[in-house]
Each structure stands twice: as C-alpha cells, then as structure tokens.
Amino acid sequence: MPRHRVPANTENQTPPITRIEGLDYGVLDELTGYALRRAQNALYVDFDRATAQWQISPQRFAALVLIDRNPGLAQTKLSEAMGINRSGAMRLVDWLELRKFAVRAEDPVDARRWGIALTPHGARVLAEVTAAVCAHDDALVEKMGANGAQLKPLLEQLAVVATENATGHTSGRERK
C-alpha cells in the first residue's frame, strides 16, 4: 500500500535545522555544504506550508513541471533530469497517476517505450501550485533584500562546480 504524505501542519512539523544555543558546531559553522543543508531544510518546510493543500513536495512539483514542458517524457529521462533512481521516478509517477495528475501512454513510434503526460486535471493543479510556488519564491528573495537577486546565479554556479568536482568533467562554461 503506498504511503501518503500528510499535509503540512506547523504544530507537528519537523523544524528546519536550527541553531541550538550553547552547542559547539565546530567545523560545521565553516562549511558551505552545512549552510546549504540548513537552508534547504528551512526552504522545504516553507515550501510545504505554501503547497500544503495540494500535498505537493518540491520533487513532485519538479516532476509536474518537467512532464508539462515535455509531453511524452520517458520515465528514464525524468529520473535523469531529476537526479533520482529509475525506481524513484516510477514511484513518483505512480503517485501522480493515483491522483490523476499524469498518465502513462504508449509511444506511438516505439511500442516498447512509454511516455508521461499531464492530464487536464494535472495541468489545472500545476497552474495553481505554480502560482503558489512562485509567490513563495518571490517572498523569500524579497526578504533577502539586495542579496536575493544574487543567490540563484551563485547557486547555479555552485551546482556546476560541484558537479565538475564530483564527475571530473568540466562544463566548458567560463567562471566569473
């Protein structure tokens, strides 16, 4: 039986990684990765608050957007684009199908291949969720003041650099 995610409830919700007074964090205070992890946890909690009525996680939202923008998307391509295992993509698409947000359909050119597409219901829900997510994102950027506009390009650059370090391949892009 599939596990269903309970909508966000701020009273019972696990808080983001918060600083605990009097605790010595040692080298963690100096690590970019730890700061990113704390920020990511906080963002997920806030994202859950913004999307609670639809029970859409950041991963589910990303899948809906990718499927919407790429009708007939193969599940394997979805897993690659999201950086998840194929089995994880299968469970994700199962969840979307169960809620009638998406359907799997046989590829008209290659009967061995199945593609994923949004249903009309899924497209309507995605439009609503997208509005909520964009408002959530805009509010966070605005609260950061002048630094807000700089954050996304810096994170994109960090993703490229970290990927290059992890894979040993360079993207060929110039760094500033």
Give the whole-angstrom CA distance, residue 34 versus residue 30.
Answer: 8
Q: What is the mean pLDDT of residues 73-95?
A: 95
| 56: nearest Cα among 89, 95, 109 | 95
Place of tokens 């040993």: 168
Q: What is the mean pLDDT of residues 41-62?
A: 94
| 65: nearest Cα among 116, 108, 113, 6 | 116
Q: Is 69 helix (H, G, I), strand (E, B) or coil?
A: helix
Domain extent listing, the chain: 27-146
Reply yes or no on whether the pLDDT at 12 is more than 90: no
* DSSP per-residue codes, 109-175: S-TT-EEEEE-HHHHHHHHHHHHHHHHHHHHHHHHTGGGHHHHHHHHHHHHHHHHHHHHS----PPP
Instruction: Read off the pTM.
Output: 0.80
- The residue among 83 and 6 whose pLDDT is bigger is 83
Reply yes or no on whether the pLDDT at 85 is more than 50: yes
| Contact call for residues 149 and 141 (beta carbons, < 8 A) | yes
The 10s digit of each residue's pLDDT in 93-111 is 999 999 999 999 988 888 8
- What class, spelled out in words, does domain 27-146 have in CATH? mainly alpha
The 10s digit of each residue's pLDDT in 34-47 is 999 999 999 999 99
Q: Is 7 helix (H, G, I), strand (E, B) or coil?
A: coil
The predicted structure's pLDDT at residue 16:
64
98 Cβ contact partners less than 8 Å away, ≥ 6 residues apart: 2
